[in-house]
Amino acid sequence: MMMKRLKAALGAVTVGLLAGTSLAHAQGTEEDLIKRGEYIARLGDCVACHTALNGQKFAGGLSIKTPIGTIYSTNITPDPTYGIGTYTLQEFDDAVRRGVRKDGSSLYPAMPYPAFSRMTPEDTKALYAYFMHGVKPVAEKNRAEDITWPLSMRWPLSIWRSLFAPAPKAFTPAPGTDAEIARGEYLVTGLGHCGACHTPRGFAMQEKAMDAAGGPDFLGGGGVIDNWVAPSLRNDPVAGIGRWSEDDLFYFLKSGRTDHSAVFGAMADVVGWSTQYFTDDDLRAISKYLKALPPVPPSRGDYTYDASTAQALDAGNFSGNPGAKVYVEQCAMCHRNDGGGVGRMFPPLAGNSVVVTDNATSVAHIVVEGGILPPTNWAQSAVAMPGYKTALSDQQIADVVNFIRTSWGNKAPANVTAADIQKLRLDHNPIPVAGWNNPTAQTATWGLFGPQPYGAGWTFAPQTHTGVDSEQ
């Protein structure tokens, strides 16, 4: 009898230990899943768009201007009333990868669900676990979009989705693809949704290509976004990253600065709120993938530095060029007479792909408004450039922009006028470039819609946190 009781007691202890071990394992697995989801949220940069300026994390409210009006990002905290707290995993997947809300209506494609359609089920499940169990609920009511009827109707978006949004399908690399390149492709074309800004958009605001199979349009340079131009990420030696190494790309995404470039505008949010938190392996994979993309025809041949500009400036010879005089007096202290800048602080202007884009808006905008190179965990100093909209006249700004775009071997059009700068300064209109994707006020969208306050063009322009909020 005693032996039976002893065996029963031992059995109970064993079962209890096994149950406790199983519970601890389950808890550990759930915590690991939430942690994984938190990293995936960084990969997708969810926080930058779903957090208002000076707002609470993931509570929505960020203004996103579009060619048909202004929309506001939504509350994606697990609050059951205003957030996504009542979403099932399937409903969450439908929103993220299909662009369909819980009520069955379609999301605006400012939400990059065409890119997220490539997410794997494992990543979607981890992301769901994070938002449901790793994010603090915030009872913040969503703001209604500011779009005039009938353009505010959502049912046409279902037609847009059927025409332009890929059906959800987990990313699978082409057979024989290097594993590191495959990982980079998944991050660039999927979670990172780089094409949302860096790929031109078509007549219906759709990205013209979702991956390299779409040809040179893929990552070939986007439109004007909040008066910044997203440049080409293809290996064009002048207009793209053809002269960048994999290390250059790695350190740019990690710290926001290299010896020949510095982050600014909306990309500053991408680095500050997202890519600086990527693992080194993922940054290497992205860099390797971008450099492995098929070659594209060079838009302007190759770049060759021209020392004659520096020689003329050193000699004080402005040759009747008013822009050269403004440059020496206002810009050369940081960017130097040779246009070389100061490594990892003041970017070079000579051979800079942003300087020589067809659209001069980025250069003009930073001269007018100034800019901030944000601090990161890997480069903790913030560097600011002052705006010159009150220190220089519109004509002086136009002159110096044209000078920068045509000096040191830069071969961009010198066609910015004082009237262009006035419209940029007062009305926030971008520098006009004739054409469908970069229309002037006269040709914008074939007259179907008027030019938007932030500038005509088929793109989405979220507010930028840099200079307002610290990364969250």
Residue 471 lies in a domain: no
pLDDT higher than threshold 70 for residue 436: no
- 398 and 307 fall within a common domain: yes
- Choose one of 104, 138, 164: the last residue of a domain: 164
For the CA atoms of 155, 156, 162, 163, the dihedral, rounded to the nearest 10 degrees, stands at: 180
pLDDT higher than threshold 80 for residue 112: yes
Above pLDDT 70, what percent of the chain? Answer: 88
- Choose one of 108, 131, 164: the last residue of a domain: 164
Q: How many CB atoms lie within 10 A of CB 215?
A: 11
Which residues define the annotated binding site? Answer: 46, 49-50, 194, 197-198, 331, 334-335
- 26-50 pLDDT, tens digit per residue, is 666 899 999 999 999 999 999 999 9
Residue 263 lies in a domain: yes
Confidence of residue 320 (pLDDT cuts 50, 70, 90): confident
Determine the Cα–Cα distance for residues 406 and 392; give it in Å rounded to an integer: 20
Residue 470 lies in a domain: no
Residue 453 lies in a domain: no
- 55 and 116 fall within a common domain: yes
Domain assignment of residue 357, given as a range: 179-427
pLDDT higher than threshold 70 for residue 5: no
Q: What is the largest CA-CA distance in the chain?
A: 112
Confidence of residue 25 (pLDDT cuts 50, 70, 90): low
- 122 and 183 fall within a common domain: no
Contact 212, 293 (CB under 8 A): yes
Q: Which range (38-42, 122-126, 427-431) has the least confidence?
A: 427-431
pLDDT higher than threshold 60 for residue 472: yes
Confidence of residue 404 (pLDDT cuts 50, 70, 90): very high
Q: What angle do CA 42, 46, 51 make, to 5 degrees?
A: 120
Instruction: Determine the pLDDT at residue 463.
Output: 78
Task: List Cβ neighbours of 16 (8 Å cut-off, separation of 6 or more).
Answer: none
First to last CA, the chain: 65
The two three-digit tokens of residue 269, written as one number: 């949010």
- 381-393 pLDDT, tens digit per residue, is 888 899 999 999 9
- 126 and 220 fall within a common domain: no
- Total domains, the chain: 2
Query: Which CATH number do you get for residue 282?
Result: 1.10.760.10
For residue 201, report the phi and psi dihedrals to the nearest 5 degrees.
Answer: -110, 155
Residue 339 lies in a domain: yes
Confidence of residue 465 (pLDDT cuts 50, 70, 90): confident
Winning range, highest mean pLDDT, from 88-97, 425-434, 458-467: 88-97
The residue whose two tokens read 């790695």 is 250
- 129 and 183 fall within a common domain: no
Task: List Cβ neighbours of 42 (8 Å cut-off, separation of 6 or more).
Answer: 274, 277, 278
Instruction: Determine the pLDDT at residue 460.
Output: 72
- 84 and 207 fall within a common domain: no
- 62 and 101 fall within a common domain: yes
Q: Which whole-number Å values give the CA distances from 326 to 30, 313, 355, in the listed order?
A: 60, 11, 17
- 385 and 350 fall within a common domain: yes
Above pLDDT 90, what percent of the chain? Answer: 67
Determine the Cα–Cα distance for residues 273 and 198; give it in Å rounded to an integer: 18
Which residues define the annotated binding site for heme c? Answer: 46, 49-50, 194, 197-198, 331, 334-335
Q: Which whole-number Å values give the CA distances from 177 to 117, 146, 218, 289, in the listed order?
A: 21, 45, 19, 11
Residue 304 lies in a domain: yes
For the CA atoms of 133, 135, 139, 141, the dihedral, rounded to the nearest 10 degrees, stands at: -110
The two three-digit tokens of residue 11, written as one number: 């059995």
- Choose one of 104, 134, 164: the last residue of a domain: 164
- Phi-psi sector, 431: left (phi>0), alpha (psi -120 to 50), beta: beta
- 368 and 406 fall within a common domain: yes
- 65 and 149 fall within a common domain: yes
Half-sphere exposure (CA, 13 Å, Cβ side) for 37? 20
For residue 382, report the phi and psi dihedrals to the nearest 5 degrees.
Answer: -90, 140
- 160 and 195 fall within a common domain: no
- 217 and 160 fall within a common domain: no
The two three-digit tokens of residue 132, written as one number: 């449901």
Residue 460 lies in a domain: no
Averaged confidence pLDDT in the chain = 88
Residue 125 lies in a domain: yes
The two three-digit tokens of residue 128, written as one number: 């769901």
pLDDT higher than threshold 60 for residue 317: yes
Q: What angle do CA 138, 143, 146 make, to 5 degrees?
A: 160
